[in-house]
Structures are given as C-alpha cells and as structure tokens.
Amino acid sequence: MALLDPFTQPLTSAQVGYLLRRATFGPTPDQLKTLTGQTAAQIVSAMLTDRATPTPPLDPATNKTYVDQPFDMVNAGKFQTYNKAWWANQMLNQALSLPEKMTLFWSNHFVTNDSTVGDYRYMYRYNALLREYALGNFKAFVVAITQDPAMLRFLNGNQNVAGTANENYARELQELFTTGRNGGYTEDDVRAVAKALTGWTDVGYRDVNNATISTVYRANKHDTTSKTFSAAYGKTVIQGRTGDTGGLAELNDLVDMLLANPETPRYICRKLYRWFINSDITTDVETNFIQPLAVLFQKSKFEIKPVVSAMLQSQHFFDEKLRGAVIKSPTDLVVGTFRFWGLQAPDPMQNLAGFYQVGSYVYARIKEQQQDILNPPTVFGWTPYYQTGYYQQWINSTTLGLRGFFADALTTNALKLNNKPAVDVLTYAKNLSAPSDPARLVSDLTAQVIGIPVNQAQTDFLTDTVLLNSIPRYEWADEWLAYTASPNDSAKKQAVQLKLTALLQYIFRMAEYQVI
C-alpha cells in the first residue's frame, strides 16, 4: 500500500496519543478516552477546524492591550516577556487544534527574533501573521511575510533600495523560505530578487508618539529595470514596474516564479515531514511520500491545509516504527506535560495575574531548555532544527539536567500554579482502571504518559523496584484501599503519595518520556 494512502482503521488509545503528541502539544487523559475509536480522518478534521483569533495580550497595570499603543521604552522588556507568556498560554490552553503547533513550525521557518527586531509590537504582529496563515495559502503567506515589519527589520528589507540593493532577505527567501539550497539559484538570481524587492519599508518602529505600525512601498526607491533570472527559474524575466502598485506586482510575480521551481514544494514538504514525522528521509520516503505530497501541494495551488491533512492521516504516519522517532522539543516537553496533568491558564479577563503567573513559568522552563520562543538564535531557527541529527541537539549536558529538574519540581507539590499543585497524582490514580493493582496502575500510567510501548521487564521494574521499593505487591493493595477508605488520614495518604511521586519522578526522567 502506498505510503500516502489514508490510514482508515479506528485509532487505539496509543495511536490517539501519538497523533496528538505530534500534531498538537500532547493529549489530556480525557482526549485519550473520548477520541479512542475515532478514525484519523475524524480527528484530523476536528484539528483543522478554524478557531477564533485569540485576544491580544493585556498589560497587568491597566488591564488593556499594549500592542496597539505607542512604544513604551520603559516597559519594553516587560511587554516582550508578556508576549511570550501569552503565547505559551495559547499553546497550553489549546483546544483539539493544529494552528498552535503550526505557528511554532512557521516561527522556525520564516524566522525573526526579538533580539534583532527590538519592538515588542512588531513581534506580536509577526506572531499574529504566522497564526493567520499557518494553515492557509503558502503563496499569500510568502507575500505577506515579505512585507511584515518584523521581517523587514530582521533581514534588512527596509534598507533595500534602488542603486544599493540589500541582498540579505533575497538570499534567505530562496535558501531558507522557498526553494531551499537545492533550488539551483545563482548569485545573479540573489541580486535580481533583491532588485525586485526594493522600495519596501516599515513605519512606526519604536515610535513613542504613534501607535500605528505599517508597511509602505516607496515607488521612488524601487529598481524599475526588468529582472532576468537563471535557468533554475526558466530564465524568467520580471518586467520592471513603476508607480505605487509596481512593488506589489513585482513581488507577486517573484513569488509565482519561486513556487514554479519544482524544488520549492518538495522543500516545504520535507520540512513538514521532519517536523511531524521523522528527520530521516529515505529514498523510499522521498519517492513515495514527499514527491506525492509536493504534487498535492502544487495541485491545491499551494494550500497548506490539504498537505498537512494528508500527512497526518497517512499509512506512513501511523507506521509503528516511527513512534519515538522525534525527541521532544522543550515546548513539547513542558507544555505537553502540563496539559496532560490538567494545568490551564486562567481567563485573562477574570484573573490576569494568574494568567501571567502560569504563562511566565511555562515560558521560563522552555527558555532555560534552549527554545526561547519568539527569539530563535539565527535565521536558520533553533539549533536542533538545522544541525545534523535534527532533534538530537535538544538533549545535551545542560538541558538533560534541566529537564530532570523541571520534572522533579512538578511532583513535589511545592509548585503551585493557578492555586493548585502542578501534578495531582492521587486524583489521577483514582481514575485509572484498577489503582489497587500496582502492575495495572503502572501499565495504565505508562501507556498514557509515555509515547512508545514499555516492555514487560520495564513494567516489572517500575512496579516492584520504583513504586513498591521491593515490598510485596499485595501490600500496595492494602495501602491503597486503606487510603481510599480514609482519604483525610495524613499517614495513609502519605503512604501511597510518596510511592506514586517516586514513580512519576522516575518516569519523567526515562529516555522513553523524552520522545514522541
């Protein structure tokens, strides 16, 4: 059967968990329960449903939005942090939907960063643009991102004028954003692209008197000569334009030309494949998965949604050998762990302080594990997504300890977010199928929280050595039943809670927990 053929069987709980870990930031126990038995087509269709645009972040000092106000020099750093906490909470509170994971994907593709841009309002607008086009039309996306104020600042498009064309964005537009390095473009093509993009600039940068942020086209700064391209682009000639509409006309012609390069749809599909499925693209995958997806991308006139939909409900996606092939990014690890254990950010309109307490904590843990959202280190994105080995660089001598520290903090009950413990393991255990049976408890728990199967030897070790600390299994049943009969008895509660905490701490540090 072809790799891209639909996987039509009803999904098991493990397959639902796998799909949601890859396509969202992980399942909740309720989702695992309610979605089991549905098909991939049903679940993916639900994930692709349009969602309302989230309310912009608010200033705790005024309870009003700040991204639509003049630039605040004094509070700029604080507002940029609010932007990130706000985005962390959008991921944490996401419904059954793809846009949040896709927004993160595009932020690693059409890269800008706040360190270079330096205006928190620009960065919010950039995030909103990624969100708007995340599952939309790729051509419209490229046209829009080219004019985005943050991108104009980040890659010097605002300095690109006739006579002294700046080639920075022109190079990255081809190498990183559309055709990729295999697109065959030449240095002359880079220069010609730069000329076609002359004249654009941003308005409102760090303006303390005016709230307006916009992009303008200056016809008098545009190179009106015709631009001739290499054989990689079929020796296309883009006619030079004059007047106020000339820049947009040339930009549209340019993007049409870039998309007509046969490598462009393949390049984008490969990036989506590495993000959602596996970093290793074999000859078989290239021929029988990437190429058909690229054809679908072209036939759909570069709509993103059909490509992602086909990918996530394909036979290949549900190949058991691919489970565990992706190392969790810091965002996947932190947000996914919190989501599973029921942490939600409160409604900012009702509890803004609580909203930022949760978002700031989530963002801080992601940042310290080396994925500073809205601030990838270079135009290539976060290091693990472009270095050899792809996801492997998320695990290093620094982050491995921080991942363990994060997991330990969740299970001690010392961490209180939104006025409750981050992990309530006793309430969770009560809802398992047979919590008084230690082997069943361990089996149920690992099946839900670990993305790959745990073998019998591991299950026995987790049961007898980690959970029970070598006491007989029947003693657990006695302790559990004693606790449930007298849940307010602190000694009986502690007897089971300490054991469950030790089990969770061990599981959170397992290699199997670090992959999806």
Per-residue CA distances from 174 to 254, 257, 261 (Å): 11, 11, 10
44-80: pLDDT as tens digits: 999 999 889 999 999 999 999 999 999 999 999 999 9
Q: Is 83 exposed, middle or buried (0-12, 13-18, 19+ CB in 10 A)?
A: buried
The pLDDT of residue 1 is above 60 = no
| Distance between CA atoms of residues 325 and 37, nearest Å | 24
Given a contact cutoff of 8 angstroms between Cβ atoms, the answer to whether 27 and 16 are in contact is: yes
The Cβ of residue 350 has, within 10 Å, a number of other Cβ atoms equal to 8
Q: Report how far Cα 103 is from the mean position of its chain's Cα atoms.
A: 6
Per-residue CA distances from 509 to 394, 400, 407, 515 (Å): 15, 9, 7, 11
Q: Which residues contact 119 (CB under 8 A, 6 or more apart)?
A: 71, 76, 149, 150, 153, 205, 206
321 CB-side CA count, 13 A:
3
310-362: pLDDT as tens digits: 999 999 999 999 999 999 999 999 999 999 999 999 999 999 999 999 999 99
| Distance between CA atoms of residues 224 and 322, nearest Å | 51
| Distance between CA atoms of residues 61 and 137, nearest Å | 38
- Mean pLDDT of the 367-381 span: 97
- Of residues 419 and 364, the one with the higher pLDDT is 364
How high is the mean pLDDT of the chain? 96
Find, among 407, 466, 348, the residue nearest to 92 by Cα.
Answer: 348
Which residue is it, tokens 């302080």?
353
The Cβ of residue 412 has, within 10 Å, a number of other Cβ atoms equal to 12
Q: Which residues contact 370 (CB under 8 A, 6 or more apart)?
A: 330, 382, 383, 394, 396, 398, 399
Given a contact cutoff of 8 angstroms between Cβ atoms, the answer to whether 112 and 123 are in contact is: yes
379-409: pLDDT as tens digits: 999 999 987 667 889 999 999 999 999 999 9
Give me the pLDDT at residue 412, please: 80
Given a contact cutoff of 8 angstroms between Cβ atoms, the answer to whether 233 and 260 are in contact is: yes
Q: Where along the chain do its domains lie?
A: 13-322, 426-514
- Mean pLDDT of the 10-24 span: 98
Task: Tell me the residue type at 400.
Answer: L
180-212: pLDDT as tens digits: 999 999 999 999 999 999 999 999 999 999 999
Q: Which residues contact 346 (CB under 8 A, 6 or more apart)?
A: 354, 355, 358, 418
261-303: pLDDT as tens digits: 999 999 999 999 999 999 999 999 999 999 999 999 999 999 9
Task: Tell me the residue type at 281.
Answer: I
Q: What is the 8-class DSSP label of residue 26?
A: -
End-to-end CA, the chain: 25
CA angle at 452 for the pair 322 and 362, rounded to the nearest 5°? 100
Q: Report how far Cα 441 is from the mean position of its chain's Cα atoms.
A: 32
Q: Which residues pair with 215 in a beta bridge?
A: 202
Outline where 374-449 has alpha helix (H).
399-411, 425-430, 438-449
Give me the pLDDT at residue 420, please: 80
468-491: pLDDT as tens digits: 999 999 999 999 999 999 999 999
| Distance between CA atoms of residues 42 and 11, nearest Å | 10
Which residue is it, tokens 């390049």?
267
Give me the pLDDT at residue 419, please: 79
Which tokens go with 75?
């509070």
Instruction: Give 221's pLDDT tier (boundaries 50, 70, 90).
Output: very high
With helix as H, strand as E and coil as C, how does 210-271 read? CCCCEEEECHHHCCCCCEECCHHHCCCEECCCCCCCHHHHHHHHHHHHHHHCCHHHHHHHHH
What DSSP string describes 81-148? HHHHHHHHHHHHT--S-SHHHHHHHHHTTS---HHHH--HHHHHHHHHHHHHHTTSBHHHHHHHHHH-
Query: Strand pairing of 200-203 and 237-238?
Result: unpaired
3-state secondary structure of 64: strand
The pLDDT of residue 364 is above 80 = yes
Q: Is 244 exposed, middle or buried (0-12, 13-18, 19+ CB in 10 A)?
A: exposed
Phi, psi of 238 (to 5 degrees): -95, 120
Find, among 10, 17, 12, 18, the residue nearest to 40 by Cα.
Answer: 10
Q: Which residues contact 103 (CB under 8 A, 6 or more apart)?
A: 127, 130, 131, 134
Give me the pLDDT at residue 388, please: 65
The dihedral region occupied by 515, where left means phi > 0, alpha psi between -120 and 50, and beta the remainder, is: beta
CA angle at 466 for the pair 464 and 470, rounded to the nearest 5°? 40
